[in-house]
Amino acid sequence: MKNTLKIVLLFLVTILLLTPICIATNEGIEPRTDGVEDSTEENGTYIASDVYKFNDTVLIDNIVDGNAFAFGKNITITGEIGGDLFAFGNNITIAEEAYIHGSIFAFAQNITMEGVCYDLYAVSGSFTLDDNAVVARDIRLGADNVYINGQIKRDAYLATSNLVFPENATELITGNLNYSSDRQFSIPEGAVGGETKFDEVTPIEPSAADLAISYINSVLTAVLYSLAVVLFTIWLAPKFKEKAGTILKKKSVLSFGVGLLASIILIIGAFALLIITGGLAIGVSLAVIVTYILALTISKTVFGMACSKLILDKLNKQNSNILFVISTALVVLVVSLIGIIPYVGGIVTFIITMLGFGITVFNLINRKPLEENVSKE
C-alpha cells in the first residue's frame, strides 16, 4: 500500500510540474477596456478563473481572467482571454473580435486566426493568418499549407509544404522570416521587414540497414525495460510471479476480457470525469491516463513473467530467480520479434498487451481466490 501511494504521489507531482503557469503580459498589445467595467460574474460575461470546455462545438465568448482550455471538433473564440489559450480540435477559429493577452497553443486540422494574441504556437494541416489578425510577438508554426495576410510584429518560424503571401504585401512580418520546406517559395518584396532565411528539407528514405538497426534497438529496449521491471517486481512483490502464472493458466480468456474492459472503462471514465466536472478534475484524469499508459508499457513483461513461471514449473525450476529473469527476457524477446511481423505482429501484440494488463487488474481485484489457488498447487 505504501508503494502504491508513492507511485500515485509521483504521478501527481509530475503533472503539477508539467502544468503550464501563465504570467500574462501586455507587451505589444493595448489592453481592451470596452465592456470590462460593466461585466460581472453574475451576468455570465466575466469569468474570474480558468475555463475548460469539452464538446463537439465549443464557443468561448466571455471575458476570461485566466487561461482557457478548449477541446472539440469545431472551436470558435470570440471573447477576451487574460491568459493563454490551449485549443485542440478539428477546426479552430480565432474570430476578429477575439483578444488573447497571452499566447495561443493550438493543434488542429484547420486554423483560422483573425484576432489578436501575444505569441502563437501551432501545428495544423492548414493555417490562415487573416488580414485583421495581429500576433504581437513571434509565431512558431508547422503546417502543410500556410497563408499569411495578417501582422506578425516580430519573427516567424515556419515548417511548411506551401507558403502563400498576398500580392503587394507590405511588411506583414516586421522581424525575420525563417522557414523550412522541400522547396523555396517566392516571397513578395516588402512582405518581410527583416531577413528571410530558407532551410531546405530533403525527404530521406530509410535504408534496409537503418530499418534493421531501428528494429534491433526497439527489441533491445523492450528486453532491457522488461529486465528492470522483473527485477523490481521480484524485490517489491516476490509472490506476483506465482499469481501471474496461475491467472494465465486458469483464467487466460477472462484476463483478456478484463484487460479490454478495464481499458474501455478507464479511457471513457477519464474523459467523462473531465466533462462532468467542467475540467476541474483535469489533474485526476491525467493521472488516470498516465497510470493506464504505464500499465500498458509493462503488460508485455507481465505476460512474459506468467509464461516464464509456467515454463519453469514444467522444468521443476520454480525456485530459481535467475532462470526466471532469463526466461522472462527470452519470452519478451520472442514477443517483440513477433511484433515486427507486418499485420500479424500488431494483432499478437494487442492480444498479449491486453492479457498482461488483464492479469495485473485481475490480481488487484481478485487477490484472495488467487492466493488460495496458488496454495492448493
In the chain, where are the structural domains located?
22-200, 208-376
Among 299, 267, 285, CA closest to 363: 299
Three-state DSSP at 235 gives helix
Evaluate if residue 376 carries a pLDDT over 70. Answer: no
pLDDT of residue 246: 87
Among 149, 146, 148, 173, CA closest to 160: 146
Range with lowest mean pLDDT among 241-255, 265-279, 297-311: 265-279
Cα separation of 33 and 30, whole Å?
9
pLDDT of residue 104: 96
**pLDDT per residue over 307-318, tens digit each?**
998 988 888 876
pTM recorded for the entire structure: 0.56
Could you tell me the three cell numbers for 151? 501582422
Q: Give residue 180's identity as a one-letter amino acid code.
A: S
Three-state DSSP at 192 gives strand
- 129 backbone φψ class: left, alpha, beta (φ>0; ψ -120 to 50): beta
Cα separation of 331 and 329, whole Å?
5
| pLDDT > 90 in the chain, percent | 46
CA distances 275 to 103, 272, 289, 367, Å, are 24, 5, 15, 33
Among 54, 56, 101, 100, CA closest to 74: 56
3-state DSSP percent of the chain in helix, strand and coil, to 5: 45, 25, 30
pLDDT: which is higher, 281 or 197 = 197
Evaluate if residue 377 carries a pLDDT over 70. Answer: no
CA distances 307 to 36, 243, 252, 349, Å, are 66, 11, 11, 15
Evaluate if residue 145 carries a pLDDT over 90. Answer: yes
Q: In this structure, are strands 151-152 and 134-135 parallel, antiparallel, or unpaired?
A: parallel
What is the H or E stretch that residue 143 is in? strand 139-148
Residue 80 buriedness (CB in 10 A; 0-12 / 13-18 / 19+): buried
Q: What is the mean pLDDT of residues 325-342?
A: 89
**pLDDT per residue over 12-45, tens digit each?**
444 433 443 333 333 444 444 443 333 334 334 8
Q: Which own/partner contact pairs does 63-68 have at CB distance under 8 Å and 24+ positions apart?
A: 63/35, 63/36, 63/39, 66/22, 67/20, 67/22, 67/102
Cα separation of 283 and 117, whole Å?
27
- 367 pLDDT band, cuts 50/70/90, is low
**pLDDT per residue over 124-138, tens digit each?**
999 999 999 999 999
